[in-house]
Structure 1
Amino acid sequence: MTTTIEWTEETWNPTTGCDRISAGCDNCYALTLAKRLKGMGSAKYQTDGDPRTSGPGFGVAVHADALTIPLGWKKPRTVFVNSMSDLFHARVPTAYVARVFAVMAATPQHTYQILTKRPERMLRLVGEEIDGGVVLLDAAYAGGFESVATTLYEAEWPLPNVWLGTSIESDEHSKRADALRKTNAAVRFISAEPLLGPLPSLGLTGIDWLIAGGESGPGARPVHPDWVRDLRNRCQTAGTAFFFKQWGQYRPGGDVAQPATWISPDGRPCSADYPDAAAMVRVGKKAAGRVLDGRTWDEYPTSRKAVTS
């Protein structure tokens, strides 16, 4: 399905549903959308999740009939895998993850982007440099998916067309990058969206791409401009491609005829005279835009494998 997500072209959801595990999930757009789709009778969204962490239509479900969709795409495209789920959720069987990877291996004309808040499981399943794909290969054999196992066995690891990433919304979750760094991947990326605070502990060694963005939606929290600038500056120093996706519902303000929300450098509401406070004005996602310091930032990574081959 085509998408308005700024950093990709298409979405593909061979699984749906998830569970909230950190503050970045508080205003999950997918959870809200799943409830709406359930009410509309969409077959993929009839499994309900635990109301404490999920919701109507957002229980984890696999959709084997969706696995073949990319096989019918002839024109190369960039594909965000599981915009409505997390492929590495504990309730997605390993053999099914193997089937997803086999489809990606069989369609090298496309570039696939997989984003997870569970990078530790991603590392266990995908493997490190010395054992990339082995766990998935074994799971395919054990599950009786011999053609899948054959595809994975014959594939080049890391799969050159698969980018693997993790979401990091606050500094307490910066360690997610440690598991990502170890994972066998042609491109490793971080989504710092919704960015809920500064990320001083986040190291960019081994990270090829960083996406930053503010939060959109009814319960959106403002992003301090200095958090975004710091990440941009550090990406430039580290040689990591930087993509600024959006300000979200709020943009830096003080120049529009409505009250500003002042936030401190650590993300708390504050007064205008607080040191280094930022005035953020709620104008809506479209009006807020995605311009940072006079320009847009639309950098994309180059595969490390392509650079070294």
Structure 2
Amino acid sequence: MSKIEWTGDTWNPVTGCTKLSPGCDNCYAERMANRLKTMEKQQRYRNGFEVTCHPDLLNIPLKWKKPKTVFVCSMGDLFHKNVPVSYIKSVFTIMNKAHWHTFQVLTKRSKRLHKLKDRLKWTDNIWVGVSVENNNLIKRIDRLREVPANIKFLSIEPLLGPMRKMDLSGIDWVIVGGESGPGARPIEEKWVINIKNQCVKNGIPFFFKQWGGTNKKKTGRLLRGKVWDQMPEINDSLRLFG
């Protein structure tokens, strides 16, 4: 089980990453990987946060018989340049086979995602999203829009500034969250409300993950007294029969 509010479980056939944009500055996965590196039993992270493929974990989802919603590579980025195309295809083959699960693939590497989009098999159980933390990275949304996935989503976390007048055409889900942990940068309510209103206007499910801060449990995830945990509908018939 995952502690990430918008998913059910995680699967990490790839771990590790490198910083790409401002949202990476205080990366939680990097902190965790470097902490795990010091633990003798955590051989998966012997390389710390260097990009590492774990082919022995590829078949894990096939062993999970009960349908799950699975965040793919929560501790890395599947579309990092150091992940071979052949390995990305192997990950997709497993997701294609494990049709009873819903896989959520999230990347900051929208250029490589776009480049490979026609070389991958996008079965309906594969959702794909891009991280967008400020208006300077809006092109990631434009590239995502052209990917032939059934569900396309945005992770606007950490939200680092206002995101006014986004083009949300072709987008099926939006997640918003503040940064948490050491050095967490501030988030403003008006930024969140503006994004929420854009989603409501366009009929897009809106998920507010957290306010964040150095103590995210204390700040919680209520937005003006309400929990926003909307998600796209999952077609159970596709899960069962492929």
The percentage of counterpart residues that share the same residue type is 51
> What amino acid does structure 1 have at the position aligned with 2:75?
M
TM superposition shift of 1:119? 1.2
Larger RCO (alpha carbons 8 Å, 6+ apart): 2
> What amino acid does structure 2 have at the position aligned with 1:207?
I
Correspondence for 2:147 among 179, 183, 186: 183
> What amino acid does structure 1 have at the position aligned with 2:30?
L
Aligned to 2:221: 290
1:13 aligns with 2:4: no
1:103 aligns with 2:67: no
Secondary structure at the residue paired with 1:122?
helix
TM superposition shift of 1:240? 1.0
Native 8 Å contact 1:171 1:201 kept in 2: no
Aligned to 2:84: 93
Native 8 Å contact 2:95 2:126 kept in 1: yes
Correspondence for 2:129 among 165, 183, 206: 165
What CA distance in whole angstroms lies between the structure 1 residues aligned with 2:137 and 2:78? 19
Aligned to 2:32: 33
1:112 aligns with 2:103: yes
TM-score by length of 1: 0.74
Native 8 Å contact 1:194 1:214 kept in 2: yes
Stretches of structure 2 that go unaligned for 5 or more consecutive residues are 238-242
Native 8 Å contact 2:15 2:75 kept in 1: yes
Cα-to-partner distance string for 1:224-251 (whole Å, 9 max, x where unaligned): 10000000000001111100000101xx
Cα-to-partner distance string for 1:249-296 (whole Å, 9 max, x where unaligned): 1xxxxxxxxxxxxxxxxxxxxxxxxxxxxxxxx7x2111110101210
What CA distance in whole angstroms lies between the structure 2 residues aligned with 1:190 and 1:302? 16
Aligned to 1:84: 75
Secondary structure at the residue paired with 2:122?
coil
> What amino acid does structure 2 have at the position aligned with 1:289?
G
What CA distance in whole angstroms lies between the structure 1 residues aligned with 2:79 and 2:5? 23
The alignment of Structure 1 onto Structure 2 pairs a total of residues equal to 235
Aligned to 1:225: 189
What CA distance in whole angstroms lies between the structure 1 residues aligned with 2:219 and 2:49? 30
What CA distance in whole angstroms lies between the structure 2 residues aligned with 1:33 and 1:63? 17
What CA distance in whole angstroms lies between the structure 1 residues aligned with 2:62 and 2:101? 10
Stretches of structure 1 that go unaligned for 5 or more consecutive residues are 48-56, 128-134, 137-156, 250-281
Secondary structure at the residue paired with 2:223?
coil
TM-score by length of 2: 0.94
TM superposition shift of 1:202? 2.4
What CA distance in whole angstroms lies between the structure 2 residues aligned with 1:186 and 1:303? 11
Which protein has the larger Cα radius of gyration, Structure 1 or Structure 2?
1
Secondary structure at the residue paired with 1:234?
helix
> What amino acid does structure 2 have at the position aligned with 1:200?
R
